[in-house]
Amino acid sequence: MTSSALDSWRTARPVSVWLDNPQRPPAHPSLAGDTHTDLLVVGGGFTGLWTALLAKERDPDADVVLVEGARIGWAASGRNGGFCAASLTHGEANGRDRFGAEYETLHRLGLQNLDEIEAALTRYGIDCGWERTGELDVATQPYQVEDLRAADGEFLDTESVRRELASPTYLAGSWNRRSTAILDPARLAWGLARACESLGVRIYEESRATALKRDGDEVAVAVNGRTVTARRVALGTNVFPNLLRRVRSYVVPVYDYVLATEPLTATQLDAIGWRNRQGVGDSANQFHYYRLTAESRILWGGYDAVYYFGSSVRTRYDQRDATFELLARHFVETFPQLAEVRFEYRWGGAIDTCTRFCAFYGTALDGRVSYALGYTGLGVGATRFGANVMLDKLAGEITERTELEMVRRKPLPFPPEPVKYAGIQLTRRSLAKADRHDGQRDLFLRTLDRLGLGFDS
């Protein structure tokens, strides 16, 4: 069988649809000399941008410097699906399993964080295509239906879910109308950078931080062969090697891949419905996520999460033909009425994941350095919460956030290679097998559950 959707990914542009925007702002200057600051933020993705912005909101007189090794929002922050979720724990099931006693608090704080993001967009005039349409979780296998019936959302039977989005693969759905917004993540990053500058943050791009050390009561960070001396440092380096070597074993890079179609015509949109423009995710361990863009493209990603030996992060890994081919085939199976739609974009990128599938936090150098890492793909919203945690810790404040078990406790680290690679590959195979066998977890996955690793996504 051939069709445009099955074949067109081969000639699609190998770049994120979000970053391929003529309105991308010009680059900020790179750091050209030594400097001193109250707070140095390392990383120009969502974690770093929110940290710099919130720091200035807390103390308008503080001097804040942000350094980014490449361009603002160029990595995970500009390559994700644009789902801004309330969840701080990578979903309800993961949150309840790991932090059951405080899950309701985490749920409340997550919704509050999402509301505060929306308020910040209004306050700073950030136009990032924000649509608080919620998320539609769908069942494509009979065993998934009862889980959706018990989920925190409006349960939809087969007929009802297909009225929302017409796929012959859907058996049921759960629509949580409040928990998720969709947006253009690159425009969010660029808008946050403008907001930071409006408050006086100094931003330097193409300015790579390579080392840090204590310098009396301050911290000296090497950037482009220069030195930034800061009273406090916040690290938002995501998947890239952390300046704190002891943290590196807690995070691995996993590559995620995405396709985006040409803009759909009115007739094509009518064929699938989707009038309410929810973000969508299916319920398997190896799951797809998808949504409509402002131009009525379908962004279609997920399923294959690929780990490369040695925790390697390489530009050549951003493209993977086998995964794009698989995604295209799954797209046609889900929407056979769109078999002749063409894909115009294909891209990939690394996500930072940890053994508990949600962010962890910490400090170093007697509280002068803080970090937040391991978001596992739900960082568009949760990074703002992480920024507040880092700032609380740098200020030495005891807050509702810092008292959380999720904040106080770290995940288990990954083992060294080659055990790490073998374990991740075995986990992927076991998760795929569970998807083929009505969700039944094999002995290996049950052992991980008992050890507190609990890979379930």
Per the DSSP assignment, residues forming a β-bridge with 155 are 174
Average pLDDT of span 212-227: 97
Residue 430: what pLDDT? 78
Tokens 């055990």 correspond to 419
d(CA 427, CA 323): 18
pLDDT tops 70 at residue 67: yes
Residue 284: what pLDDT? 80
> Across the chain, what does the average pLDDT equal?
94
pLDDT tops 90 at residue 453: no
Residue 190 phi, psi (nearest 5): -65, -40
Position 449 confidence tier, pLDDT thresholds 50, 70, 90: confident
Average pLDDT of span 236-246: 94
d(CA 449, CA 356): 11
DSSP per-residue codes, 376-398: TT-HHHHHHHHHHHHHHHHHT--
Please tell me what DSSP assigns to residue 131: B
pLDDT tops 80 at residue 49: yes
The string of pLDDT tens digits covering residues 68-120 is 999 999 999 999 999 999 999 998 889 998 999 999 999 999 999 999 999 99
The token pair that represents 442 in the structure block: 């094999």
Position 426 confidence tier, pLDDT thresholds 50, 70, 90: confident
Mode of pairing for the β-strands spanning 35-42 and 64-67:
parallel
Q: How far is CA 183 from CA 161, 187, 361, 364, in A?
A: 23, 8, 26, 34
The token pair that represents 426 in the structure block: 């075995």
pLDDT tops 70 at residue 1: no
The string of pLDDT tens digits covering residues 279-334 is 999 988 788 999 999 999 999 999 888 999 999 899 999 999 999 999 999 999 99
Mode of pairing for the β-strands spanning 343-353 and 180-182:
unpaired
Long-range pairs for 207-211 at CB < 8 Å and ≥24 separation? 207/30, 207/31, 207/67, 207/68, 207/69, 208/67, 208/69, 208/70, 209/42, 209/67, 209/69, 209/243, 210/243, 211/243
d(CA 308, CA 299): 25
Residue 452: what pLDDT? 65
The string of pLDDT tens digits covering residues 152-194 is 899 999 999 999 999 999 999 999 999 999 999 999 999 999 9
Residue 118: what pLDDT? 98
Residue 457: what pLDDT? 45
Average pLDDT of span 223-235: 97
Residue 455: what pLDDT? 54
Residues 6+ apart with CB under 8 A from 198: 124
d(CA 447, CA 93): 18
Residue 286: what pLDDT? 81
d(CA 292, CA 280): 9
Q: Which of 351-365, 381-395, 432-446 has the lowest mean pLDDT?
A: 432-446
First to last CA, the chain: 31
Give the containing element (helix H, strand E) for 267.
helix 266-272
Average pLDDT of span 254-268: 97
Please state, for a pLDDT cut of 90, what percent of the chain lies above it: 86
Local structure of 251: helix, strand or coil: coil
Residue 95: what pLDDT? 93
